Amino acid sequence: MDIASAGQLSEASFAIRKYRWLVIRTSLLIVLAIGAIFTLRGLALKEVSIYVEGSEPVIVTTRAWRVGKALSQAGIQLFEGDVVSPAVSNRLHPGQIIQIQRAFTVTIVADGQTRQVRTTEISVQDLLDKIGVSVGAEDKVVPDIGAQLDSEGTVRIIRVTHEHVTETETIPFRTIQKSDPTMDEGTTRVVRQGKNGTREKTIKRTYEDGQLVKQSVVAEKVTVQPVDAIIHVGTRPVPKTIRTSSGRLLQYTAVKEMVATAYTPRDGSGAGITYTGIKATKGVVAVDPRVIPLGTRLYIPGYGEAVAADTGSAIKGSRIDLCYESYSEAIQFGRRVVKVYILANR
């Protein structure tokens, strides 16, 4: 390459570098100009309206660039949880409307803890969603989850849980008593010993915040059947004793209080034969067979031993007619209440 060619190349390279520098400088000037324009616009006075919840709107003239700065210049203090629209970091524009929703304090009681939160939410549901507190299908929320929040109020979440437990209980055996005429009154005999049974119960228990509030039996089954005890109870009358006027001891099984009258063998048909066919004499008495069976041996104080062997049309119920040998004895006896002892069989 000759010297002339080299000189031409050098001049061309210099021209290119000079052009590039001119482009860069022009671009920088444009950027600075734009920045200056925005700076001047930002520094220009702007009138903005600030609406604070529950207060009259405030009109502010400011050179602030950001919403937060304008609020500060207006002497408006923000508290935790307050919602500002647009956000405090947003650029401020002329004629801007700024809205502030004041937060209020709500006490949350849940899972054994109590805490206070600042919120602008309207409903209980919205608040719980915002703070991330989950509510189970059976959990209770007070006030109701769809209710509106009250300033300085309390929201309580009551955790509802269940458990199923199995308990075993005793089934007491029954005692069955059966009359036994072959045994004396007042005596008993165990024929079969009783045995308790067992029952399994499945119990559903419901807890609210760990405290038992309800339980109910949801299933049960008998695992061991109880066995009834059987006891025989004697019904056979036990003879007691009575001493007669002559000093004899007689055994009796029962005593009845009856209305007594007297008759003689010549009364009635005058044949002197009783209903049972034996001769009417002292010691023979007429009874109602439904009360005292015929043939029963008796003892009547003041009369003596007797046998129920006769009946009479007037002798019904607790009536007894005593046979005397003479009319005078019968008249003298008259009518009186007597005790009639039912004597034991010999």
- Cα 329 from Cα 264, distance rounded (Å): 9
- Cα 318 from Cα 259, distance rounded (Å): 6
Closest CA to 120 of 156, 158, 79: 79
The reported pLDDT for the residue numbered 288 is: 97
The reported pLDDT for the residue numbered 230 is: 98
- Cα 194 from Cα 172, distance rounded (Å): 9
Regarding the domain delimited by 104-158, which CATH topology (the fold level of the hierarchy) does it fall under? Ubiquitin-like (UB roll) (3.10.20)
138: CB partners within 8 A, 6+ apart: 160
The reported pLDDT for the residue numbered 18 is: 62
Closest CA to 252 of 345, 346, 344: 344
Domain ranges, ordered by start, for the chain: 1-40, 46-101, 104-158, 162-234, 238-343
With DSSP H G I counted as helix, E B as strand and the rest as coil, what are the percentages for the chain, rounded to 5? 20, 45, 35
Q: Over the stretch 305-328, which tens digit does the pLDDT of each residue have?
A: 999 999 999 999 999 999 999 999
The reported pLDDT for the residue numbered 95 is: 87
Q: How far is CA 49 from CA 59, 60, 64, 147, in A?
A: 5, 6, 13, 33
Which segments of the chain have a pLDDT < 50?
Answer: 3-4, 6-7, 9, 31, 33-42
Closest CA to 303 of 333, 331, 275: 333
- Phi, psi (5° rounding) for residue 343? -80, 150
Largest CA distance in the chain: 198
Q: Over the stretch 23-78, which tens digit does the pLDDT of each residue have?
A: 566 666 554 544 444 444 445 788 888 999 878 888 888 999 899 898 888 888 98
CATH class, 162-234 region: mainly beta
* CATH number corresponding to 46-101: 3.10.20.90
- Looking at 3.90.870.10, 3.40.50.300, 2.40.400.10, 2.40.40.10, the CATH number of the domain 238-343 comes to 2.40.40.10
Q: Decide if 104-158 and 238-343 have a common fold.
A: no
- Cα 43 from Cα 244, distance rounded (Å): 142
pTM for this predicted structure: 0.52
- Cα 275 from Cα 280, distance rounded (Å): 9
